[in-house]
Amino acid sequence: MKNGTVFVSGTFNVLHPGHLRLLKFAKDSGERLVVGVLSDRVAGVAAHVPQEFRLEAVKMHAIVDEAFLIDDSVNEAIRKIQPARVVKGKEHKTKDNPEQEAVDSYGGKLLFSSGDVVFTSLDLIRREMAIQEPKTITLPIDFMSRRGVTKKSLSLLLSKMKDTQVVVIGDTIVDEYISCDPLGMSEEDPTIVVTPISSKKFIGGAAIVAAHAASLGAKVKYFSVVGNDESAQFCRDELTKFNVDHELIVDDARPTTLKQRFRSRGKTLLRVSHLVQRSVDEPIQKSLVASVKKACANADLLIFSDFNYGCLHQNVVDQLVEIATKNKMRIVADSQSSSQIGDISRFKNADLITPTEREARLALRNTEDGLVVIAQSVCLSAEAKSVTLKLGEQGVLLHGRWGKDWETDQIPALNSAPHDVAGAGDCLLVATSMAMTVGANMWESGLLGSLAAAIQVGRVGNTPITQNELLHELAE
C-alpha cells in the first residue's frame, strides 16, 4: 500500500462540477491523487467521448497528480497501485461496491465523498440540444388583428399543405456541431484550450429546405451536387430518413460542403468551413436542368436555395425559371451571401424572395435608403411579386404588390429566447412558400414562416419542422 495515494476511477466524458467536487474531496483525503480513466472498451456505451480526449482532460486538471487508461478492470488497477484510499461518490454508498474486495486484499480503505453528483456528463451534452420551452414564443396579436389573420385560418392552411408537389434545388451542406469542454488558457501562448465532448451532424443548406418541406407534408424532389465522400453518404441517408426523393450528382472535383461549429456552454467559439466556391462544370449543369425539368412537369412549387457554392449557375437558374413559369408553378428563391458574394436579384420572376437586409442591400449596392425603399427596390430589380425581408432580432418586413398597389407590414421576432439562429431562414423560406402555394395571402404566409423560424431558433441544430409543432403553437 502506497501511503498518501488516493485513487478515483470513472469515464469522465465531461469534467462537470460533480466530478470536480469528487476530485477535490479525494485530494484532500491524501497527498497524491491518481485517476483511472476507463478506456472505450471498458466503458462501452457509457463512453460518449473518445478515450484520448477524456484522458487528456483529466490530466490537464491541476488537482490531478497522475492519470492513466484502465483497459482491464478497476479492481485490477486498484490491486496494482494499492492506494491508501479509493474514493467514490456518495451516491454509491448504499449500492454494491466491487472495489471493496480489492481494497480489503491489501488493507486499504474505501471512502465516499461528502457531496452528491446530481447530474451526468451526458445530461450536459443533451441539455444544449434540447428543444426550447414553447412559452418563449408569442404570436403577434396586433399584426394578426390588423391583417385579419386568425389561428383557425393558419391551421386550415397547414392542413392544405399535404401532398403539395415541391421541387428544391440548391447547395447541399452538412452542419456539424462539436460540443466542447473549456479547459482554460494555454500556458505556451494566449490560446483558449477546449476538449471535444461530442459531435452531432445535421443536413443543411438546400437539403434541410427539402426536409422541411417533406416534414410539412409535401411530396419533395431534391436536386443538388455533392462530392464523393462520407458527408455525401450522410446526406443521402438523412434525406431518405426524411422521405425526400433526391438526386445528388457527384462531382469528384469538389467536397461536399461541411461546416463545423465548435460550441461550449451555449455559445459558438469557432466555425470552420470545408468548401469550394466555384460553379459546377457545364455537363453537370445540363444534367441538373434535364432532371429538374422532368420533375417540374407535375409540380406546384420550385424553391431555389442558393448558398453561392456553385450549384446554381446563372444558366441553370434562367432555364429553370423559364420551365417553371411555363408550367405555372410558384417560384421562390433565397440566396444567402457569404462575404460580398451573392445576388438575390438574379432569380427573376419569382413569386417570393427572402433575403436578409444585408443581402438585399448587397444586391442593390444601396446602404443608405430605408427598409421599405430597399424592399420595393429589390422586388423591382428581381422582377419579384413579393419579398420577405429578414431583419434578425427585429423580425421580418413583408412587402409586395397586390393589384396596382404596394403593401408593407412588419412581424416582430416571435421567440424571446433563441438558442441557435442557424436554419431560421430555411424554415421561414419553406413554411412561407408552401403556405403561399396553397392559397395564403402575404400576411398569412409571412406569419406561418415567422412562427416556423421561431420554433427552429429555440433548439440547437437544423432539424425539420413539423405540422404538429406549428399546430401546438397555434393551439396555445
- The distance in angstroms from the start CA to the end CA of the chain is 65
Which pLDDT belongs to residue 187?
Answer: 67
Which pLDDT belongs to residue 118?
Answer: 44
Residue 184 has pLDDT above 80, yes or no: no
Q: What is the CATH number of the domain that holds 64?
A: 3.40.50.620
Is there a contact between 174 and 203 (Cβ–Cβ < 8 Å)?
A: yes
Average pLDDT over residues 160-171: 95
Range of the domain at 78: 2-125
Whether residue 311 is found in the same domain as residue 456: yes
Is there a contact between 401 and 386 (Cβ–Cβ < 8 Å)?
A: yes
Which pLDDT belongs to residue 132?
Answer: 46
- What tens digit of pLDDT does each residue of 348-365 get? 999 999 999 999 999 999
SS3 425: helix
Domain end call among 91, 125, 159: 125
Whether residue 117 is found in the same domain as residue 176: no
Single out the residue of 460, 472, 442, 440 nearest to residue 452, CA to CA: 472
Return d(Cα 407, Cα 375) in angstroms, integer. Answer: 11
Which pLDDT belongs to residue 135?
Answer: 58
Work out the pLDDT band at 131, boundaries 50, 70, 90: very low
Whether residue 47 is found in the same domain as residue 192: no
Whether residue 363 is found in the same domain as residue 463: yes
Domain end call among 125, 157, 186: 125
Whether residue 236 is found in the same domain as residue 370: yes
Q: What is the CATH number of the domain that holds 161?
A: 3.40.1190.20
Whether residue 95 is found in the same domain as residue 168: no
Work out the pLDDT band at 17, boundaries 50, 70, 90: low
Whether residue 102 is found in the same domain as residue 139: no
Q: Which residues pair with 406 in a beta bridge?
A: 401
Whether residue 158 is found in the same domain as residue 112: no
Which pLDDT belongs to residue 16?
Answer: 66
Return d(Cα 37, Cα 51) in angstroms, integer. Answer: 8
314-326 and 282-295 helices cross at what angle (nearest 10)? 20
Domain end call among 69, 100, 125: 125
Number of domains in the chain: 2
- Would strands 396-402 and 165-170 be described as parallel, antiparallel, or unpaired? unpaired
Work out the pLDDT band at 340, boundaries 50, 70, 90: low
What DSSP line would sit under 199-250, residue for residue?
Answer: EEEEEEEHHHHHHHHHHTT-EEEEEEEE-SSHHHHHHHHHHHHTT-EEEEEE
Residue with cell 485513487: 7
What are the φ/ψ torsions at residue 259 (nearest 5 degrees)? -115, 120
Please give the share of the chain, as a percent, with pLDDT higher than 90.
62
Whether residue 307 is found in the same domain as residue 428: yes
What are the φ/ψ torsions at residue 133 (nearest 5 degrees)? -60, 130
Whether residue 320 is found in the same domain as residue 361: yes
Please report the sign of the dihedral spanned by the C-alpha atoms of residue 293, residue 299, residue 300, residue 301.
negative
Whether residue 205 is found in the same domain as residue 255: yes
Whether residue 120 is found in the same domain as residue 232: no
SS3 290: helix
Full-model pTM: 0.72
